Structure 1
Amino acid sequence: MHTERGEAADRTLGQVDLTRWRTRAGRAVARGWTALGQRYGAMPLLLLTLAVGLAVAVVATWLASAVFDAVREADDVAVLDRPVLDWAISLRSPAADRLVTWWTDVAGTIGMPVVAVGFLVGFTIQRRAWTPVVLLVAASGGSLLMTIAGKDLIGRARPPLSDAVPPYEHSPSFPSGHTLNATVIVGTIVYLLLLRESRAVTRVWTIVAGTLFVLSVGASRVFLGHHWLTDVLAAWALGLAWLSLVVTAHRLYLTALRHGAEPAPDPAARAR
């Protein structure tokens, strides 16, 4: 079956077998999840793992918010945030402001969904499997939920409008939603691309391109005065944490498939 062959091709990333777990804890979890996959199917297992991971990510967001709140009360973040914003203001010019505004919009509420949908269509057509759809939708939904939770928990004010480049934004500042969503969505896309890239140099350039995009989006938020530096740093950290959980969920899914769990149906076969 085309879907099964495609899923089998995703089991290695370069020379690394994603279904091999090196730690004792990892092997124990993999055995338990494999047993569940053999009983209930691999795709329900993937959805369950992502749901558990999302719960963990939301708790991590709450903990990060609590830590940040304690640091903010001690006024330690001002030591880092204000000087960096002042330095960013010194670099501005009309041309730079327009260019960076355009670039940050690529990771905004319109640009990022367009990028995600474009890759979703491409992955689904190429691989004839629901797995990329599930991973990208779950990753995107999780990052959005983490952004909302963080903003509601902290309610931090953005930098003064006098220090920002229009158009102005008025939602809470912590964490940076643009940065968090770019980290998770682009990180998931990079991961899915790496699974099918056979040449090491291609994988390196894919990682470099994805990393530069995520770093530049975060930097653009500070440059424009739409976020403090600590908002961006927190978004990078939370995004990487959620991304690692998404990748772990996919590895457990592949492990269950390798040991005989029922895979997800082929979208093309279902259409027929």
Structure 2
Amino acid sequence: MTHVRQPDTDDRLDRKIGSRDVREWRTKAGQRLADRHGRLASRVGARPALAATLAVGGGIAVAATVGASWIYDGVTSRNGIESLDGPALALAQKLRSPAVDASAAGIARLFGPVGMPVLGLAMAGALAARSRELTPVVVVTAAGVGSLAMTLAGKNIIDRNRPHRRDAIAPFEKSPSFPSGHTLNATTVLGAGAYLFALYEERNAPQTVVIATAAATAVTVGLSRVLLGAHWFTDVAVGWTTGAGWLSVLITSHRLFLTSQDPAHTR
């Protein structure tokens, strides 16, 4: 059975971003994935199937991070990707000023090990209250747990030194530099929250604003880490790319969850 979205009278707000119904699967691979997930959901329930999909996707994301870390380690030793890092840090030092430094330090605290979980839980709680269901809490929590696992995997494999403290600005950190956990967490948690908010918002303009704001914030968080000298630029770049990969898994898992609840899928 292939799943092609059929017109119906269900116009709930938690189904569309712009004019696109997220339950639509336009490729054969997507249709097969939706069908298989639908069969699983029919046996165990929609939410257990979502949890299973997130768990499997999270495992794949961590494994991909491990593989990317080994590739990164080999490529930097052969081709000198790290040659990007010195010029990036030098440029960041030229851009520093008391006001810019204070702003970057504030960003580090807001999206750090304490601030990011608090922000994520607050966002998940607000989305759950708006939707009157716990699914947003599951998705946002998975985003944070997965990004933390990916960060730890990369740090343990590469064990890369951060820039010298003489080139950095407080607050200083002692953990390995690769990848940037601040960047990875912001990309996934804010991205997941923006996606869910867009689903619960009827108007296109607020959808666009919140998604653009989340993307701009993730970029700002990453660049602030370079400006502070807390990370090399390539640490941040990998945080963006691996975070985007995990975010795509989260969004796909949630779309499958919504599809499994669609009466058209069972026809």
What TM-score do the two structures reach when normalised by structure 2? 0.92
Confirm or deny that 1:161 pairs with 2:165.
Answer: yes
1:214 matched to 2:218? The reply is yes
**For 2:264 and 2:29, how far apart are their aligned partners in 1?**
22
Tell me how far apart the structure 2 counterparts of residues 244 and 66 of structure 1 sit (CA, whole Å). Answer: 22
**Partner residue of 1:269?**
none
2:90 maps to 1:90: no
1:54-79 residue CA offsets vs partner (Å, 9 max, x unmatched): 01101110111011101221251232
Instruction: Quote the Cα distance in structure 1 between the aligned partners of 2:11 and 2:55.
Output: 21
Stretches of structure 2 lacking an aligned partner (at least 5 in a row): 1-9
**Which whole-Å CA distance do the structure 2 matches of 1:173 and 1:53 have between them?**
25
Matched, 1:74 2:74: no
Residue pair 1:7, 1:254 contacting (<8 A) in 2 also: no
Offset, 1:256: 0.8
Once the two structures are TM-superposed, the CA of residue 36 in structure 1 deviates from its matched residue by: 1.3
Distance 1:19 1:246, change over 3 A: same
Is 1:120 the counterpart of 2:95? The answer is: no
* Root mean square deviation of aligned Cα: 1.7
Matched, 1:23 2:19: no
Q: Distance in 1 between matches of 2:171 and 2:199?
A: 39
The answer on 1:64 being equivalent to 2:75 is no
Match of 2:174 among 148, 170, 175: 170
Residues of 2 paired with 1:179 and 1:114: CA distance? 16
Preserved CA contact (<8 Å) 1:9 1:196: yes
Q: Which residue, out of 186, 192, 211, partners 2:196? A: 192
Of structures 1 and 2, the one with the larger relative CO (CA 8 A, separation 6+) is 1
Asked if the contact 2:151–2:181 (Cα under 8 Å) also holds between the matched residues in 1, the reply is yes
The one-letter code sitting in structure 2 at the alignment partner of 1:110 is V
Distance 1:225 1:195 in 2: 37
Whole-Å separation in 2 of the counterparts to 1:78 and 1:130? 43
Aligned to 1:242: 246
1:38 aligns with 2:38: no
Q: Which moved more, 1:101-110 or 1:177-186?
A: 101-110
Aligned to 2:56: 52
Counterpart residue identity of residue 167, structure 1:
P
Determine if contact 1:105/1:111 at 8 Å carries over to the other structure.
yes
Whole-Å separation in 2 of the counterparts to 1:158 and 1:138: 28
Between the aligned partners of 1:30 and 1:8, the Cα distance in structure 2 is 20
The partner residue of 2:149 within 137, 145, 155 is: 145
Structure 2 CA distance for aligned equivalents of residues 8 and 95 of structure 1: 45
Return the offset for 1:105. Answer: 1.4
Q: What is the CA–CA distance in structure 2 between the aligned matches of 1:165 and 1:139, rounded to whole Å?
A: 29
Looking at structure 2, the residues matched to 245 and 102 of structure 1 have their Cα atoms a distance apart, in angstroms, of 30
Amino acid at match of 1:39: R
Q: TM-score, normalised by structure 1?
A: 0.90
Q: Secondary structure at the match of 1:78?
A: helix
What is the 5 A alignment of 1:94-105?
Answer: 94-105=98-109
In the alignment, residue 112 of structure 2 is paired with which amino acid? G
> Residues 146, 176 of structure 1: CA spacing in aligned structure 2 closer, same or farther, 3 A cutoff?
same
Deviates more, 1:200-209 or 1:223-232: 200-209
How many residue pairs align between the two structures?
256
